[in-house]
Structure 1
Amino acid sequence: MPTIPPERARLSGIKPHQHRRAAESFGSDAERYDRARPRYPDAMVDRIIAGSPGPDVLDVGCGTGIAARQFQAAGCTVLGVEPDTRMAGLARQLGVETDVATFEAWNPGGREFDAVVAGQAWHWVDPVAGAAKTAQVLRPGGRLAAFWNAFQLPPDVAEAVAAVYRQVLPDSPFNLQATTKQALDGYQVLFTKAADGIREVGGFGAPEQWRFDWEWSYTRDAWLDQMPTHGNLTQLPSDKLAEVLEGVGAALDARGGSFTMRYATVAVTATRTGAA
């Protein structure tokens, strides 16, 4: 199994895939996660399908099956892999066949796929081990596509939310600069790690980035419903979470009770070309 060279490992910074507690915290309220989290652009789903040799899709870190159901609706057969039993259970209830395992430890049992996708999840997978496992299960010409929704709050909303964080969680490492004009900068680290893992393993064409820009309007209540599903809040004590939501709710009320979010969905993608 290929490994990251030591010199690159020293420069790689944080490694989210090693923080299993955080990775598996989202299932604490799986129903809210499925209800409140944004979907993905249909144009991206269609492009992934068009760039794959067939309809069999593996969804890595499928969560409650948000992306999986979009691929099903587009005519694909989807198998999910999800380490959190709570998330996997809801995915099954909602019609997505799901194996419970981390992707690195998952046994494909000889199954092969035309596309391996990961929505908002590839950073929880070791980028080299994940690419190597993907190379094992993709058919020739099959596509790996890991994608993320990067959101950009309107500047006035971002500053109001940042003020709440400074008051309630002064020691939080959360930086709302990533939600303003530098929205994609923080994600670029994840994109680079994904692409580097693909190159390290070999057997893929050159990684590409596909970007899809879109907007979504949120009411106050809809945004407050989504906030507890964010990684920086899933492990907060209930009293602190309540303070954050109360403060953000008041800030949104003062700004009319709704706002339009700009999203950039970016896929890091490559095609299986040969033996790893």
Structure 2
Amino acid sequence: MPTDPGNAPHRHRGMAESFGVDAERYDRTRPRYPDALVDRIVRAGHGSRPAVLDVGCGTGIAARQFRAAGCSVLGVEPDGRMADFARRLGVPAEVATFEAWDPAGREFDVVAAGQAWHWVDPVAGAAKAVRVLRPGGRLVVFWNVPEPPPAVARAFADVYERVAPDSPVDVRATPKQALDGYGSLLTKAAEGIRAADGFGLPERWRFDWETTYTRDAWLDQLPTQGTLTRLAPDDVSQVLDAVGAAVDAMGGGFTMRYTTVALTAQRVRTARRPD
């Protein structure tokens, strides 16, 4: 969780645009999204090759999954370093925040946002999605929520509180609290959708899955997380040393449980009229 949901994450632009400091590492280490989610999104599109707008596409992780599933994809990404990396891997990406992006008359079957909608103003973002979706198209925003083993989470929290005592991030959240925090993001997204004139009722999807990490693989990913991207190198090293010791004590690896949560709504063919 990048910030406390109550603190309006979309206003934390410094953190939002810090991930490109090492775009190659970000792309190499960040988890992908479950095939069941991608398949469901693709089925929600129209025709044999749905047009997907990937909001906050980053290095193109989700975009490449959509493309592999047969979609045409355009990314919108505020960090030029991330967009450059996505383009090098074949994902067309335009540099802008979604709120300020100019669609230039283009329309899409799906507007998707993986691990990114919390950086978008939920009301302005939903209104922009209405503008660019074809009638019957779908907005889908989703997040991977990790559940690290207690020993790994505890080691991270202990050292992080020492090196970043003023951080807005709740590093002591239990798995249930973390999932509830993402539930707050889904609630805010749903409120934005309801405020936009043109969507049907939002619904939630959930996908549970797991993967394994070696010590090196997990330490490779940690510096890409928003909690660490703005820390000094010495502070990052302290975090990695403490977490690495915890993973070593577990035998050098662990199983990570993930819950992928999504909120979706369909662009209705006739916009709602005010009461």
- Poorly superposed stretches of 4+, deviation over 4 Å: none
Q: Contact 1:178/1:185 (CA < 8 Å) preserved in 2?
A: no
Q: Contact 2:117/2:141 (CA < 8 Å) preserved in 1?
A: yes
User: Quick one: distance in 2 between partners of 1:182 and 1:16?
Assistant: 17
User: In the TM superposition, what is the alpha-carbon distance from 1:51 to its structure 2 partner?
Assistant: 1.5
SS at match of 1:89: helix
User: In the TM superposition, what is the alpha-carbon distance from 1:247 to its structure 2 partner?
Assistant: 1.2
SS at match of 2:7: coil
Q: Contact 2:45/2:51 (CA < 8 Å) preserved in 1?
A: no
1:62 corresponding residue in structure 2: 57
Of 259-268 and 150-159, deviating more is 150-159
Q: Contact 1:177/1:183 (CA < 8 Å) preserved in 2?
A: no
Counterparts of 1:220-231 in structure 2, within 5 Å, are 220-231=215-226
1:14 corresponding residue in structure 2: 7
Q: Contact 1:141/1:271 (CA < 8 Å) preserved in 2?
A: yes
1:125 corresponding residue in structure 2: 120
The match for 1:175 among 154, 160, 170 is 170
Q: Contact 2:140/2:262 (CA < 8 Å) preserved in 1?
A: yes
User: Quick one: distance in 2 between partners of 1:120 and 1:138?
Assistant: 20
Deviations 1:57-77 (A, max 9, x none): 000000000000000000000
User: Quick one: distance in 2 between partners of 1:197 and 1:170?
Assistant: 32
The match for 2:255 among 256, 260, 266 is 260
Task: Give the unaligned 5+ runs of structure 2.
Answer: none
SS at match of 1:183: helix
The match for 1:275 among 257, 266, 271 is 271
User: In the TM superposition, what is the alpha-carbon distance from 1:164 to its structure 2 partner?
Assistant: 2.5
Please say if 1:240 is aligned against 2:232: no
Task: Give the unaligned 5+ runs of structure 1.
Answer: 1-11
Counterparts of 1:122-161 in structure 2, within 5 Å, are 122-161=117-156
User: In the TM superposition, what is the alpha-carbon distance from 1:179 to its structure 2 partner?
Assistant: 5.1
Percent identity, aligned pairs only, is 69
User: In the TM superposition, what is the alpha-carbon distance from 1:254 to its structure 2 partner?
Assistant: 1.4
- CA-based RMSD of the aligned residues comes to 1.4
Of 182-191 and 135-144, deviating more is 182-191
User: Quick one: distance in 2 between partners of 1:147 and 1:238?
Assistant: 30
> Would you say how many aligned residue pairs link Structure 1 and Structure 2?
265
Deviations 1:53-105 (A, max 9, x none): 24100000000000000000000000000011000000000010011111011
The match for 2:29 among 15, 27, 36 is 36
Letter of the aligned partner of 1:24 in structure 2? E
TM-score (norm 1): 0.92
